[in-house]
């Protein structure tokens, strides 16, 4: 009986990552990468369209372009982080920030998006 119980315990899902956030599997990592890739392509397309509209009217709103470009850059950075995690973690042992849900690598002390501390206070 005792051996059986032990097996059951070992089959439990992996414990929370040391960061204290939610565990993120490889599948979720890939799904996130796909969503970000799509979002990036759409934002890039929109930015191109916006620049074109401004160009044919010879009226540039640089502030508008800069704002859109900043958002594109954010998505690009997030995509880069997800791709790196997918490569490094392989099996998908990264965690998601409990505050903003951004992904982090094993051993991270703070969230790179919102600076939320990730080490659990014991």
Among 50, 51, 116, 117, binds Zn ion (CB under 5 A): 116
Does 66 contact Zn ion by CB under 5 A? Answer: no
State in angstroms the smallest separation of the CB of 102 from Zn ion: 5
Please give the distance of CA 6 from its chain centroid, rounded to a whole number.
35
Binder of Zn ion out of 99, 105, 110, 117 (CB under 5 A): 99
* Tokens representing residue 81 in the block: 């982080």
Which member of 14, 77, 88, 100 binds Zn ion (CB under 5 A)? 100
44 vs 113, beta carbon nearer Zn ion: 113
Q: Could you say which DSSP state residue 57 is in?
A: H
111 binds Zn ion (CB under 5 A): yes
Q: Which residues contact 4 (CB under 8 A, 6 or more apart)?
A: none
What span, in angstroms and rounded, lies between the C-alpha atoms of 10 and 13? 8
Q: How crowded is residue 111: how many other Cβ atoms within 10 Å of its Cβ?
A: 22
User: Is 55 a binder of Zn ion (CB under 5 A)?
Assistant: no
Q: Which residues bind Zn ion (CB under 5 A)?
A: 97, 99-100, 102, 111, 113-114, 116
């Amino acid at each position: 009986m005792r051996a059986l119980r032990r097996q059951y315990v070992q089959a439990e899902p992996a414990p929370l990552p040391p960061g204290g956030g939610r565990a993120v599997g490889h599948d979720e990592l890939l799904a996130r990468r796909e969503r970000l890739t799509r979002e990036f392509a759409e934002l890039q397309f929109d930015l191109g369209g916006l620049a074109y509209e401004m160009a044919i009217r010879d009226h540039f709103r640089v502030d508008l372009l800069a704002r859109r470009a900043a958002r594109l850059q954010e998505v690009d950075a997030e995509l880069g982080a997800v791709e790196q995690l997918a490569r490094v973690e392989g099996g998908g042992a990264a965690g998601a920030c409990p505050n903003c849900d951004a992904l982090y690598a094993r051993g991270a002390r703070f969230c790179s998006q919102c600076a939320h501390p990730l080490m659990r206070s014991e």
